């Protein structure tokens, strides 16, 4: 289990700008000079960041929203959150 799962809630970095575009979410990191166009699944995960859920709560919600193997969905969401953490798009707060 990833150590940050039990730490607290996950929230978007406050410096990010986000908007809905064609049914998906687009993020702009002014600090990094990068933008991110999220696919449908990543957009669904991003939308679940409000209000700043615990990781397990977020994962349970995504599993409920999508058909498929719950363990695979869980792994995919964890991988996505880990990537977002490493890129500074989200933060984990106690």
Q: What is the rounded distance in angstroms from the CA atom of residue 19 to the CA atom of residue 4?
A: 27
Kindly report the pTM of this predicted structure. 0.86
How is domain 8-89 classified at the architecture level of CATH?
Orthogonal Bundle (1.10)
pLDDT tens digit at each of 94 positions of the chain: 456 566 678 999 989 999 999 889 999 998 889 999 999 889 999 999 988 788 888 999 999 999 999 999 999 999 999 999 999 999 888 7
Residue 1's pLDDT is 46
**All structural domains of the chain with their residue ranges:** 8-89
The dihedrals phi and psi of 33, each to the nearest 5 degrees, come to 65, 35
Residue 90's pLDDT is 92
């Amino acid at each position: 289990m990833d150590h940050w799962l039990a730490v607290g809630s996950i929230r978007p970095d406050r410096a990010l700008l986000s908007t809905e575009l064609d049914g998906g979410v687009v993020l702009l990191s002014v600090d990094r000079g990068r933008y991110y166009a999220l696919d449908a699944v990543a957009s669904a995960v991003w939308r679940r960041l409000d209000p700043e859920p615990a990781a397990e709560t977020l994962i349970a919600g995504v599993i409920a929203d999508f058909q498929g193997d719950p363990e695979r969905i869980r792994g995919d969401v964890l991988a996505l959150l880990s990537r977002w953490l490493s890129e500074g798009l989200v933060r984990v707060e106690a």
